Chains A and B, each alone.
Chain A
Amino acid sequence: MSLPRFELFQPQTLEEACGLLARYPAGEAAILAGGTDLLVNIKRAIIPAHLPRCAGCGPQTGKPLMMVDKTPQCLIALSKIDDLKGIKEEDQGISIGSLTTITQICKSGLIRNKLTALAEGGDNLGSPLVRNRATIGGNICNARPAADMLIPTYALKGILELISPKGKRNIPVEDFITGPGKTIIYSNEILTKIHFPLPGRKSGSSAIKLANRKALEIALVNAAGVLTLDQENRIAQVRIALGAVAPRPIIANRAMEFLLGKEPRKEVFIQAGQIAAAECQPITDHRGSALYRIEMVKVLVKRTLMKTAERAEMEIQI
Chain B
Amino acid sequence: MKRIINLTVNGIEYEIAVPPHRTLLEILREDLNITGVKQGCGIGDCGACTVLMNGLPVFSCLVLAMEAAGSEIITIEGIADGLNLHPIQKAFVEQGAIQCGFCTPGMVLNAYALIKENPEPTEKEIRQAISGNLCRCTGYQKIVEAVQAAAEEMKLKDRRIEGYSL
Which chain B residues lie closer than 8 Å to A128 at the CB level? 57, 110, 128-129, 131-132
Q: A1-B39, A214-B131 in contact; A133/B45 too (CB < 8 A)?
A: no
Q: Would you list which residues of chain B between 32 and 65 have a CB under 8 Å from chain A?
A: 39, 41-45, 47, 50, 53, 56-59, 61-64
Are B43 and A44 within 8 A (Cβ)?
yes
- Pick the contact of B47: A4, A8, A127 (CB < 8 A): A127
Q: Which residue of B lies closest to A131 (CB)?
A: B132
Per the bound structure, the CA–CA distance linking A47 and B64 in Å amounts to: 18
| A 125-142 to B, binary, CB cutoff 8 A, 1 in contact else 0 | 011111011000000000
Closest CB in chain B relative to A11 CB, distance in Å: 13
Which of A2, A10, A127 touches B132 (beta carbons < 8 Å)? A127
Question: Scoring B residues 84 to 112 as 1 if CB is less than 8 Å from chain A, else 0, what string do you get?
Answer: 00000000000000000000000000100
- Distance in angstroms between the alpha carbons of A232 and B26 in the assembled complex: 62
Q: Is the CB of A40 within 8 A of B1?
A: no
Q: How far is the CA of A36 from the CA of B57 in the complex (A)?
A: 14
Interface residues on B, range: 20 to 34
Is there contact, CB below 8 Å, between B132 and A79?
Answer: no
- Does A153 make an interface contact (CB < 8 A)? no
Q: Known contacts being A130-B44, A132-B57, is A8 close to B50, with CB within 8 Å?
A: no
B58 neighbours in A (Cβ, 8 Å): 129, 132-133
Q: Confirm or deny: B67 has a beta carbon within 8 angstroms of a beta carbon on chain A.
A: yes
- On whether the beta carbons of B23 and A51 are closer than 8 Å, the reply is no
Q: Do B64 and A43 touch (CB < 8 A)?
A: no
Known contacts A40-B43, A51-B45, A53-B45; is A8 also within 8 Å of B62 by CB?
no
Residue contact A129 to B20, C-beta cutoff 8 Å: no
From A5, A36, A44, A216, contact of B19 by CB (8 A): A5
Q: Which residues of B contact A44 (CB under 8 A)?
A: 43
Taking a contact as CB atoms closer than 8 A, the residue among B23, B53, B59, B110 that contacts A3 in the complex is B23
A77/B47 in contact, CB under 8 A? no
A188 neighbours in B (Cβ, 8 Å) = none
A6 within 8 A of B: yes
Asked if A308 lies at the interface with its beta carbon under 8 angstroms from chain B, I say no
Q: Check B50–A75 contact: CB distance below 8 A.
A: no
A to B CB contacts below 8 Å, 14 in the list = A1-B43, A7-B1, A35-B67, A36-B62, A39-B23, A53-B45, A77-B64, A77-B66, A79-B67, A127-B131, A129-B133, A132-B56, A215-B128, A216-B45
Beyond A8-B20, A40-B62, A127-B131: 8 further Cβ-contacts under 8 Å? A32-B64, A35-B62, A77-B66, A79-B67, A126-B132, A128-B110, A130-B132, A215-B128
